Amino acid sequence: MKAIKALVLACAVLSLAATAGRAEKPNARDSDKVQSCIKSAAGGLREQEKCIGIIADPCTDSENAKSTADQVACVAREHAVWDDILNETFRRLRDKLDAKQKIKLRAMQRAWIESRDRTCAFYWDYFQGTIAATMSAFCQNRESARRALFLLGFLADAEGR
C-alpha cells in the first residue's frame, strides 16, 4: 500500500513539475473566458480577482477530475491562460518604460517569481502528501493570476498617459 501511495505521489509531482516547467499554450476557449471575465469586471482589481478559478474550479469539481493528476491538469489549463496574460502584459508594460524603470521592473518581477515559487513549494513541506500537488498547482495559478492583474493595472495607467 505504501508503494502505491508513493507511486501516486511521484506521478503527481512529475505532472506538476512538467506543467510548471513549460509554457503551455492556453486553450483558446479558456483564454476567451478569462479575458471576457477580466474585461467585464467593472469594480477594478477586487472584481477582476473573481475571475481566478473560472476555468480550474468547475473542472476540478467535475466527474472527470477524480485523480490528483486530473485536478492538477485542470488547474494547469487555467494557469496557462494567466501565464500567457502575465507574460504579454509584462512585455507590453516594459515597452512603455524608460531604461531605469525597465531594470526595476525586471528586478521586481524576478523577486516576485522567487517569492511565488517559495510560497507555493511550501505546500509540499507542510502537507507532504498527494494533496500538496493540487494545492501547489492552485497556488501557482492564483499567484500568477494576481500578478497578471497587478501588472495589468500598471499597463492601463501607462497606456492612459
CB contact at 8 A, 50 and 42: no
Radius of gyration of the chain (CA): 17
What cell was used for 90? Answer: 509584462
Question: pTM (2 decimals)?
Answer: 0.83
Q: Which of 143, 146, 141, 145 is nearest to 20 (CA)?
A: 141
> What burial class does residue 80 get, using C-beta atoms within 10 Å of its C-beta: 0-12 exposed, 13-18 middle, 19+ buried?
buried
Q: 94-132 as b/e, with b when 16 or more CB fall inside 10 Å?
A: beeeeeeeeeebeeebeebeeebeeebeebbeeeeebeb
What's residue 21's pLDDT?
43
- Alpha-carbon span 10 to 133, nearest angstrom: 10
User: Once rounded to an integer, what is the mean pLDDT over residues 99-116?
Assistant: 98
Model confidence at 160, pLDDT cuts 50, 70, 90, reads: confident
Identify the domain containing residue 146 by its residue range: 2-160
- Other beta carbons within 10 angstroms of residue 8's beta carbon come to 16
Q: Which of 155, 158, 137, 160 is nearest to 57 (CA)?
A: 137
Q: Is residue 14 over pLDDT 90?
A: no
Q: Is residue 16 over pLDDT 90?
A: no
- Alpha-carbon span 61 to 74, nearest angstrom: 10
Structural domains counted in the chain: 1
Model confidence at 161, pLDDT cuts 50, 70, 90, reads: low
Q: Report how far Cα 6 is from the mean position of its chain's Cα atoms.
A: 26
